[in-house]
Structure 1
Amino acid sequence: MNRVPRVFTILKRDIRAALERDPAARSALEVLVCYPGLHALYIHRVAHWFWNGNLKTFGRFISHIGRFLTGVEIHPGASLGPGLFIDHGLGVVIGETCEIGEDVTIYQGVTLGGTSLEKKKRHPTIGNGVVIGAGATILGAIKVGDNSRIGSGSVVVKEVPPNSLVVGVPGQVIYRDGKRVPRTIDLEMTDMPDPAEKAIRCVLERLQELEKEVETLKKGLSSSPAHYASSSRYHSPRNE
């Protein structure tokens, strides 16, 4: 009996989220019929219900239909909090073990992906009030703290503290609690190879090879004049 009022409450909250966060939204009716991000949410909730009811294949099928209709791919196992607003939505991918808190805003092209083949928690946990810019990628079982902002095009592979601003590839916290974070140099090279170091090493190896070739040529040239000199001295009486 209480499910119908609850559905309408969630619907009103979703529409209000779009009206508050998208200046292009002009009315509740427009949001309801013209926003694919909203449609993707409701298709996901149906798919999520079947997934939790152990009808996983059917849940995946509904999710697949939602992806075809909206351009938003949300795994039916993902847990989405109320007030989520997916603006535009095209190209958004949300993985199976992803958890999203309340009042989160996601723009187009965002990927919340995994970094493991094991069947465990492998997708991000997004805190309340987080804003994720267009084209951003968040990978692994990491947590993005409440009220943080992820800049467009950033790639986040480490934990993000609350109230932070992250930009860059890989993502770096540049502001936290409204204060700029001093830039630090990361000397840890065990997790990720340094492409610049690799390129310099290749150049040095090639330089050593060229030096060896030059030395070989020098030896060949130094022996040739001696041969011609002896030959000219041998024939000099004949020339006289």
Structure 2
Amino acid sequence: MWDQLSKFKYDLLRLSGRNKLRILILWLNRSFWAIFIYRLERGMFLTFGNVYSVIRIPFLPVLKFFEVFSNAEINYRADIGKGFLILHSALGIVITGYAQIGDDLTLTGGNVIGSKDSGKDGDILLGNNCFLGANAVILGPLKLADNIKVGASACVVKSCLTDGSALGGVPAKEIIKQ
């Protein structure tokens, strides 16, 4: 649980941007609530294990309220590193529980990180410092390296193991190699 709280602190600093006083009003932001609920649920899952799926039942109305308010459905089984940033959650965000994501993930809105088939843990691996443009979709199983940028409305269905690449198109292909 403490690990998730320290990650949430880092998330808040990233969400506040250059203006550190903005942290005082972040609780009004939809992205704040999406990340907060994810970190809270993830911490509870790590504390209680699979029993958490039963423990959370009485709290589902409140959890679903915040899910609807934030317009983000982030499964508590997903392992997301520190520095998680959602820029425009009003467009919708969905992240499967099978994803393992590195630090400093940036989602711009309308993003889906999911699985084509019924998946298993670790089917979708994203490296550190990844960026998904508006309405970009990742459908696993696949692996993306560090510093990957996915263009707007791209649909990634194959792995990209080249650090610093930019992906674009449907289906997404490497358009820039670094």
Seen in structure 2, the aligned counterparts of structure 1 residues 157 and 56 have a Cα distance that, compared at 3 Å, is same
CA distance in 2, matches of 1:122, 1:13: 24
1:77 partner SS: coil
RMSD: 2.6
Which one-letter code corresponds to 1:38 in the other structure? Answer: F
1:45 partner SS: helix
Number of matched pairs: 170
CA distance in 1, matches of 2:75, 2:8: 21
Corresponding residue for 1:27?
A: 22
TM-score normalised per structure 1: 0.63
CA distance in 2, matches of 1:20, 1:123: 31
TM-score normalised per structure 2: 0.83
User: 1:89, CA displacement in angstroms?
Assistant: 1.3
Larger-Rg structure: 1
**Is the 1:50–1:59 Cα contact (8 Å) retained in structure 2?**
no
**Is the 2:100–2:122 Cα contact (8 Å) retained in structure 1?**
no
With CA pairs under 8 Å and 6+ residues apart, which has the higher RCO, 1 or 2?
2
Corresponding residue for 1:41?
A: 35
Which one-letter code corresponds to 2:111 in the other structure? Answer: V
Q: How does 1:199-210 map to 2 (within 5 A)?
A: none
Q: How does 1:119-198 map to 2 (within 5 A)?
A: 120-121=120-121, 123-161=123-161, 162-177=163-178
User: 1:109, CA displacement in angstroms?
Assistant: 0.5
2:109 partner SS: coil
| Aligned residue among 36, 52, 56 for 1:55 | 52
User: 1:149, CA displacement in angstroms?
Assistant: 0.1
CA distance in 1, matches of 2:125, 2:45: 19
Corresponding residue for 1:16?
A: 13
User: If each structure's helix is expressed as a fraction of its own residues, which one has the higher value?
Assistant: 1
Q: Percent identity?
A: 26
Q: Unpaired segments of 5 or more residues in structure 2?
A: none
Q: Unpaired segments of 5 or more residues in structure 1?
A: 178-240
**Is the 1:137–1:156 Cα contact (8 Å) retained in structure 2?**
yes
Corresponding residue for 1:110?
A: 111
Which one-letter code corresponds to 2:29 in the other structure? Answer: Y
CA distance in 2, matches of 1:117, 1:10: 29
CA distance in 2, matches of 1:126, 1:59: 28
CA distance in 2, matches of 1:44, 1:115: 23
Corresponding residue for 2:95?
A: 94
Which one-letter code corresponds to 1:19 in the other structure? Answer: S
**Is the 2:111–2:134 Cα contact (8 Å) retained in structure 1?**
yes
Deviations 1:147-194 (A, max 9, x none): 1100010000001222100010000101011xxxxxxxxxxxxxxxxx
